[in-house]
Amino acid sequence: EPVDGTPVTVRGVTVRFGGLRAMSDVSTRIETASVHGLIGPNGAGKSTFVNTLTGLYTPSAGDIRIGDTSIVGASPAQIARLGVARTFQNIQLFGHMSVIENVLVGLHLAYRSNLVDALVRSRRYRCEERENRERAQALLAFVGLAGAANQDARSLPYGQQRLLEIARALATEPKVLLLDEPAAGLLPSDIDALMAILRRVRAGGRTLLLIEHHMDMVMALCDRITVLDFGEKIAEGSPDEVTSDPKVVEAYLGA
């Protein structure tokens, strides 16, 4: 079903850890219904970008807007309620829970807005629970895990755990989905499946940020790409523009 995605506007953002500037005066705009790539060498500040967008880190300067709403100083929970979801560079699933329960956690996060609402919902609990299970099952089907619903999450092969993490993030109905190296450690066949899923997520209208080192994937999928190096934005543009930029070749693509 189509979604109203939200653009993300980053203006002059600096993030410091002591004397280190992990992000230095970074500005960019991530458009709705697009896949925006974020690339650069290890330590360039890519994960810091995602951690700052989700409220784990607070910028020392600059502004970040989800749509029209500034999120500087907002808590991770407040930012999640604005429709921002993420996956982690290191998979973070509830390994002891079943595959479908991991998606149900995402659904509960999405619908639990306040206490009164939760109470009203608890009266409709049975009906709601069945609807949630159907919705979770549909999300599992979307990522190709319909047959694995009742397995322990930790029993899934690594690539499928990645897809489950994406299904859980999608369960929160995000307007913005941030993916931190989703293809790391995946087999080529898993990467093809992942790309097909992300294309469908984009077609649904969501805003996607993709951090990735697999350049074939980045080039095939991204509408625009921002390149970071030592916390600074050194290039931005279409895949062709970025890959032919001498600064990018020198900092990241060369050798």
Using CB under 6 A as the criterion, which residues of the chain lie in contact with ligand ADP when the complex forms? 17, 20, 22, 40, 42-48
Closer of 40 and 62 to Mg ion (Cβ): 40
The binder of 45, among Mg ion, ligand ADP, none, by C-beta within 5 to 8 A per type, is ligand ADP
Closer of 16 and 121 to Mg ion (Cβ): 16
The binder of 114, among ligand ADP, Mg ion, none, by C-beta within 5 to 8 A per type, is none
CB of 181 to Mg ion, least distance (A): 6
CB of 190 to ligand ADP, least distance (A): 21
CB of 41 to Mg ion, least distance (A): 10
Residue nearest to Mg ion (CB): 47
Interface with Mg ion: number of residues (CB under 5 A): 3
CB of 1 to ligand ADP, least distance (A): 33
CB of 58 to ligand ADP, least distance (A): 11
CB of 170 to ligand ADP, least distance (A): 23
Closer of 143 and 235 to ligand ADP (Cβ): 235
**At 46, which helix (H) or strand (E)?**
helix 46-53
Closer of 181 and 245 to Mg ion (Cβ): 181
Is 23 within 8 Å of 15 (Cβ atoms)? yes
**181 C-beta neighbours (distance < 10 Å), count:** 19
Closer of 43 and 239 to ligand ADP (Cβ): 43
SS3 26: strand
Is 50 within 8 Å of 86 (Cβ atoms)? yes
- Sheet of 224-229, strands arranged across: 84-87, 176-180, 207-211, 35-39, 224-229, 232-237
Cβ neighbours of residue 57 closer than 8 Å, sequence gap 6 or more: 15, 22, 48, 51
Instruction: Print the binding letters for residues 18-57 with Mg ion: x by CB under 5 A, - otherwise.
Output: ----------------------------xx----------
Cβ neighbours of residue 120 closer than 8 Å, sequence gap 6 or more: none
Residue keyed to tokens 């080039």: 219
Closer of 46 and 168 to Mg ion (Cβ): 46
The binder of 42, among Mg ion, ligand ADP, none, by C-beta within 5 to 8 A per type, is ligand ADP
Cβ neighbours of residue 202 closer than 8 Å, sequence gap 6 or more: 33, 34, 35, 208
Residue ranges of E strands in the chain:
8-17, 20-30, 35-39, 61-66, 69-70, 84-87, 176-180, 207-211, 224-229, 232-237
How far is CA 77 from each of CA 13, 73, 82, 194, rounded to the nearest angstrom?
A: 21, 12, 9, 27
Site for Mg ion in 80-139 (CB under 5 A): 89
Interface residues with Mg ion (CB under 5 A)? 46-47, 89
